[in-house]
Amino acid sequence: MKDLVISQKRLKSELFIWTFSFAIAFLLNIYAILKYNNSWLELLTQLHIVLILSLVIYFIFVLIRLLFWPTKFLKNNGPKS
Amino acid sequence: MEESFLISRREFLKKISVIAGSTVALASMPWMKVFNEKVYAKSVNDKVRLGFIGIGDRGSALLKNVQVFEKILNVEIAAICDNYEPNYQRAIKFTNGKAKPFYDYRELLALKDLDGVIIATPLTEHCHITLDALDAGLSVFCEKSMARTLDDSKRMYDEHLRTKRILQIGHQRVFSPIYLEAIEKINKGEIGQITHMRGYWHRNGDWRRPVPKGHPELDRVINWRLYNDLSAGLFTELLSHQLQVANWIKQSFPTSVIANGSLIYWKKNREVYDHIACLFSYPDQSQFMYDSINSNKHYGCEEQIIGSKGTMELELNKVYSENPPAPPAILKLINDMEKDVFDTIPIGGASWVPETAVVDKGNYITNNYKMDETKLQLEAFVRYIRNGQAPEELPIQGYYSTVWSLLAEESAKTKERVTLMDKYRI
């Protein structure tokens, strides 16, 4: 079986996208606490929900990137004029 | 079986010692104090000898419950009695022939060294057997309801006072860990002022038990619940249980009742109503609404205690707050976003939103519900016998739940609001 090699560059970019997703989820929690007047303690107590939400957002990004992948692939590997 | 009984009992007794230390809690459930007492008039080394009169379905269940703690509490099932041959034989089998069998309860009462009797006969037999047992100097545990008539119920209570013997009526919910915890929470004001109560017991069945072929004369013996002269049907068999709970919760008794009854589904070979609805009023002007039916079991059995700050559903062991804690903001936001995306946009239509029930899973009233209340009430009976006395609140609860169940029947028959006559007050 062939080893799957993830380049450092790819790893960094994926980590960056997930951190970005986590930040969005965290900000959404802050917005929700302000909107519904809930306790600020929820910034800590609801971290598990924020984490799950960040993964959902991350996978949405993955889907979007997959949609653009054929175009990018063709652009890089298509017939050269 | 004995081991699991001991484990759950130990947990329960811990709880009881807390109750026994609280004056407020003890005032609502004085019958529980006996579980915390260490000194008895009759030594624990002396056997408590019991006789069972009536070993039908309920009598058998009571007998088996006593057998669980027979050795632990030093109890002896000394005698059994039933005048119906299959029950008589079954009782001998249950006790492995160790208990003395009788067809006539008077012979059982004449036994020497008997401490108490447990009566689980048809309703119309309760009064005269109880009177004879009390006269014989025995303590009596009698299944609910007390009697078929107001006069008989009063005679039983008066005889208990005259003979100064223990009279306990089988309302097992007063020993239920769920109900005890609920009363404690109510006393602490957790559901606010109790302004209303609802109760129901819905079954789908004709209540008829099989009669041996070729013996139609046994129908009234076996299916006594279905005949007006032998039973008040749903009033004495089901309502009395839940009315006792309502009285206990309110710490008072009704002032009037208005009820209705109908025989609309199981019309064949049945005299008692198969549907009843009652409305009891209490001194503080709150109401207890009750219905019991035999044609649908969807809603089952429940007592709902409705307060200004919360609601309790006792059979489900649940308590709901009027202001449940808000869900986490992030979940609420996601929910709202989902609604915005997927909900249809109304164009015209109704200008109001129906006030449907609040969707809230609530909390459990107690997690300590493993201890079976039927066993506890029988254990309490044994302890009362050892003590030589029982709290007067127990027969009073039993008396008034029977009396008001019978008054509800009277209201359904006369189509009038009924109050309690002074001569039946105790």
pLDDT of residue B359: 76
Quickly state the pLDDT bin for B347 (edges 50, 70, 90): low
Name the residue among B326, B330, B332 with its Cβ closest to that of A50: B330
Q: Are B340 and B201 in contact (CB under 8 A)?
A: no
pLDDT tens digits, B131-166 = 999 999 999 999 999 999 999 999 999 999 999 999
pLDDT tens digits, A23-44 = 999 999 999 999 999 999 999 9
Inspect the interface and report whether the beta carbons of A42 and B328 lie closer than 8 Å.
yes
pTM of structure = 0.83
Chain A neighbors of B324, CB-CB under 8 A: none
Inspect the interface and report whether the beta carbons of A36 and B326 lie closer than 8 Å.
yes
pLDDT of residue B372: 84
To the nearest whole angstrom, how far is the Cα of A42 from the nearest Cα of chain B?
A: 7
To the nearest whole angstrom, how far is the Cα of B328 from the nearest Cα of chain A?
A: 7
Quickly state the pLDDT bin for B18 (edges 50, 70, 90): low
Q: Which residues of B touch A (CB under 8 A)?
A: 326, 328-334
pLDDT of residue B245: 97
pLDDT of residue B236: 97
Lowest mean pLDDT among B6-10, B251-255, B288-292: B6-10
**CA angle (B258 as vertex; B355, B280 as ends), nearest 5:** 65
DSSP letter at A51 equals: H
Inspect the interface and report whether the beta carbons of A53 and B334 lie closer than 8 Å.
yes
Inspect the interface and report whether the beta carbons of A46 and B332 lie closer than 8 Å.
no
The percent of residues above 90 in pLDDT, for chain B, comes to 74
Q: ω into residue A39 within 30 of 0, thus cis?
A: no
pLDDT of residue B368: 66
To the nearest whole angstrom, how far is the Cα of A41 from the nearest Cα of chain B?
A: 10
- Greater confidence (B5 vs A14) lies with A14
Quickly state the pLDDT bin for B360 (edges 50, 70, 90): confident
Chain B neighbors of A28, CB-CB under 8 A: 330, 333
- Greater confidence (B38 vs B335) lies with B335
What mean pLDDT is reported for chain B? 91
Inspect the interface and report whether the beta carbons of A29 and B331 lie closer than 8 Å.
no
Inspect the interface and report whether the beta carbons of B326 and A38 lie closer than 8 Å.
yes
Quickly state the pLDDT bin for B251 (edges 50, 70, 90): very high
Q: Does B45 have pLDDT greater than 80?
A: no
Quickly state the pLDDT bin for B325 (edges 50, 70, 90): confident
Give the Cα separation of B423 and B426 in Å (integer). Answer: 8
Name the residue among A32, A45, A53 with its Cβ closest to that of B332: A32
Chain B neighbors of A50, CB-CB under 8 A: 330
Inspect the interface and report whether the beta carbons of A38 and B334 lie closer than 8 Å.
no
Domains, chain B, ranges and CATH?
2-174+371-391 (3.40.50.720), 189-325+358-369+402-424 (3.30.360.10)
pLDDT of residue B339: 82
Q: Does B352 have pLDDT greater than 90?
A: no
pLDDT of residue A79: 67
To the nearest whole angstrom, how far is the Cα of A29 from the nearest Cα of chain B?
A: 5
The mean per-residue pLDDT over the stretch B369-383 comes to: 87
Tell me the domain boundaries of chain A: 31-72
Listed residue (B422, B15, B424) closest to B180, CA to CA:
B15
Quickly state the pLDDT bin for B20 (edges 50, 70, 90): low
Quickly state the pLDDT bin for B36 (edges 50, 70, 90): confident
Give the Cα separation of B398 and B379 in Å (integer). Answer: 18
To the nearest whole angstrom, how far is the Cα of B317 from the nearest Cα of chain A?
A: 28
The mean per-residue pLDDT over the stretch B391-403 comes to: 96
Identity of residue B191 = I
Interface size, chain A vs chain B, as Cβ–Cβ contacts under 8 Å = 34
Quickly state the pLDDT bin for B177 (edges 50, 70, 90): confident
